[in-house]
Amino acid sequence: MKRFIVEFGTGADLHGGNVTEAAQRAVKDAMSHCCLCGISEIVEIGDLREVRLEVKIGCPHPEKLDRNEVLKQLSFYEDISIEVVQGGMEVKGLHVPAMGEGDKIVIAVAAITVFIR
């Protein structure tokens, strides 16, 4: 496996402190920063099974993160690992009952490393 690219993203849940939603947004943000056309045009890989993603997420309360929900953001890849660590940020926000419980804003960061075979 050779490392092809590393990309970063951030995501926040503004109402209710949902780390899974923040992490989903961070992963989506990271993927939206890169176009992996070099995989097919330069390296000439035509099958995404030859691609591996390593996802690392930093968020407050990593034990509350639903990894399966985060991985849905990358559903077109098969070979994915995910590591969740303490990180990100939590700050006081505004409680809006219709949008979630509590008044915490949580911010997650994601690093996605793309490897090719």
Structural domains of the chain, ranges and CATH numbers in brackets: 2-116 (3.30.1330.20)
pTM: predicted TM-score of the whole model, two decimal places: 0.90
The arithmetic mean of pLDDT across residues 6-20, rounded, is 95
On the question of pLDDT at 105 being above 90, the answer is yes
On the question of pLDDT at 79 being above 90, the answer is yes
**pLDDT tier at 61, thresholds 50, 70, 90:** very high
How much is the mean pLDDT over the chain?
Answer: 92
Would you state the pLDDT for residue 76?
85
On the question of pLDDT at 18 being above 80, the answer is yes
Amino acid at 24: Q
The arithmetic mean of pLDDT across residues 41-63, rounded, is 89
Is the torsion defined by CA of 9, 49, 67, 16 positive or negative?
positive
At residue 42, φ and ψ (nearest 5 deg) are: -100, -50
Residue range 64-76, pLDDT digits in tens: 999 999 999 998 8
Residue range 19-47, pLDDT digits in tens: 999 999 999 999 998 888 788 788 777 77
Give, in order, the Cα–Cα distances in Å from 39 to each of 6, 19, 52, 60, 112: 14, 31, 12, 34, 15
